[in-house]
Homo-oligomer: A and B are copies of this chain.
Amino acid sequence: MNSNKDIFTPAVASMQASAIREIFKLIAKDDIISFAAGIPAPELFPAKQWAKITNDVLTNTPAPALVYGVTEGYVPLRELTKERAKKLGVYNEEVDELIMTSGAQQAIDLSAKVLLEVGDGVIIEKPSFIGSLNAFRSYGAKLYDVDIEDDGLNLSQVEEHLKNHKNIKFIYTIPTFQNPSGTTMSVNKRKALLELAKKYDVFILEDNPYGELRFKGEAVATIKSMDTEGRVIYAGTYSKTLAPGLRVGFVSARKDIVDRVVVVKQVNDVHTPVLNQMMVYEYIKNYDYDAHIQKCANEYGEKCALMISEMEKHFPEECTFTRPDGGIFILCTMPEGVDTKEVLGDAIENKVAFVPGNTFMADIDAPSNIFRLNFSVTTKESITKGIKILGDVLKKYV
């Protein structure tokens, strides 16, 4: 029985590799202007400071950086992360605990692992981040999708699912500068969503990788900050403000939940590499991290404004798009019936790339008329050049 194709769990057997990853393989081959990325701008990484930090640590006190660390995280970074999280209202020491993870991806994966049995349900945004959807799928979860409006989730669809599906364990949302839409959920909707979660006794998994990268408008309170009873599991990260390759994130949640996340993390990777956690800690301790975040946000704000003004000039008017106040993404919507996967093929031939909408859907095989643009990585020159080319491609499909 083991020798044939039935050796894998049904959940894992049915998983597909991320389509975004396949696109990256496609576009890595050529001199292509890529709006497909999902990362901060590498020239903003504090690499020089880290060269000094790693050199100091590995020369003067190498052992703690290279032996096993505790599963909960490098103590000074964990304490500092708690302090910052407390200021942001996403860590309430009365009810919460906080554990450092190998990126927010692991925060989401292990939170799902402790909660989801095969057949359990998760409410997701449509569109949403494929990495999270696949994590839920890997435990055999059923996904129930809900449209995103300009001010966040369609709440009547949320309640409809909660009424009809008693298997739902939590609602997964990226309420601020959502991936891929760039939209932000309104305060009122956040409050109402939390009320719904209480009424139907489910958790909310709030994923907030981009929240600190605001370049316009007023800060909106996190859902976690409105939560008094430990109903919100909060996934945070240093990936988008410092560097994604370090893989340093965290979960802040009710103590009993974090206690279980610790136990499954211990058998997953024992701990997040200590040197990487030290790099984050020493950087924040010795340099001006808040100024760094502001600098990144300003830069992304300029690039976003430039991209939107070029889109207004060159895109066909049938293509609508979001106007984010922060983060790194803009979502575009083509007329019904356009398959943006097909458009991508054409775009790549013209040396421009984006991520087509199907990759953000529960059903990855159905055609989608939306697509995602990233504005953080490309240079301003390439934004100007690439958006014009893309506009010409899009005009053929309206």
Which A residues are closer than 8 A to B by beta carbons?
1-3, 5, 7-10, 12-13, 15-18, 21, 38-39, 42, 45, 47-48, 50-52, 54-55, 58-59, 62-63, 65-71, 102-103, 105-106, 109, 113-118, 131-132, 134-135, 138, 169, 201-203, 229, 243-247, 256-257, 260, 262-264, 266-276
- When distances are taken between beta carbons in the complex, the residues of chain B under 8 Å from A65 are 245
Flag if A12 contacts B114 (CB, 8 Å): yes
Choose one: B106, B247, B264; the contact of A15 (CB below 8 Å). Answer: B264
- When distances are taken between beta carbons in the complex, the residues of chain B under 8 Å from A135 are 267-268
Distance between Cα atoms of A103 and B266 in the complex (Å): 12
Choose one: B7, B45, B268; the contact of A268 (CB below 8 Å). Answer: B268
- By beta carbon, the residue of chain B nearest A279 is B275
Flag if B8 contacts A115 (CB, 8 Å): yes
Q: List 10 A-B contacts (CB under 8 A).
A: A17-B263, A21-B70, A39-B67, A50-B62, A69-B245, A105-B268, A105-B269, A134-B266, A246-B275, A273-B276
Distance between Cα atoms of A266 and B7 in the complex (Å): 20
CB distance from A97 to the nearest CB of B (A): 13
Flag if A244 contacts B66 (CB, 8 Å): yes
- By beta carbon, the residue of chain B nearest A101 is B269
Copies held by the complex: 2
CB distance from A118 to the nearest CB of B (A): 7
Distance between Cα atoms of A268 and B106 in the complex (Å): 5
Please name 19 further chain A to chain B contacts, defined as beta carbons within 8 Å, in addition to the given A8-B260, A55-B55, sorted by A numbering: A7-B115, A7-B169, A16-B263, A17-B266, A39-B68, A47-B59, A47-B62, A48-B59, A50-B62, A65-B245, A66-B246, A105-B268, A105-B270, A117-B118, A132-B267, A138-B264, A273-B273, A275-B276, A276-B276
Flag if B66 contacts A267 (CB, 8 Å): no
Choose one: B42, B113, B273; the contact of A62 (CB below 8 Å). Answer: B42
Query: Quick one: which of A66, A244, A263 has the most chain B CB within 10 A?
Result: A66
- When distances are taken between beta carbons in the complex, the residues of chain B under 8 Å from A244 are 66-68, 270
Flag if B266 contacts A131 (CB, 8 Å): yes
- When distances are taken between beta carbons in the complex, the residues of chain B under 8 Å from A15 are 260, 263-264, 267
- When distances are taken between beta carbons in the complex, the residues of chain B under 8 Å from A48 are 58-59
- By beta carbon, the residue of chain B nearest A229 is B3
CB distance from A274 to the nearest CB of B (A): 5
Flag if B246 contacts A273 (CB, 8 Å): yes
Distance between Cα atoms of A88 and B264 in the complex (Å): 32
CB distance from A6 to the nearest CB of B (A): 11
Distance between Cα atoms of A339 and B244 in the complex (Å): 48
- When distances are taken between beta carbons in the complex, the residues of chain B under 8 Å from A113 are 9, 12, 138
- By beta carbon, the residue of chain B nearest A136 is B267
- By beta carbon, the residue of chain B nearest A249 is B269
Flag if B105 contacts A267 (CB, 8 Å): yes
- By beta carbon, the residue of chain B nearest A246 is B273
- When distances are taken between beta carbons in the complex, the residues of chain B under 8 Å from A45 are 62-63, 66
Distance between Cα atoms of A63 and B113 in the complex (Å): 32
- When distances are taken between beta carbons in the complex, the residues of chain B under 8 Å from A71 are 21
- By beta carbon, the residue of chain B nearest A244 is B68
Distance between Cα atoms of A263 and B169 in the complex (Å): 24
Distance between Cα atoms of A7 and B52 in the complex (Å): 45
Flag if B202 contacts A2 (CB, 8 Å): yes
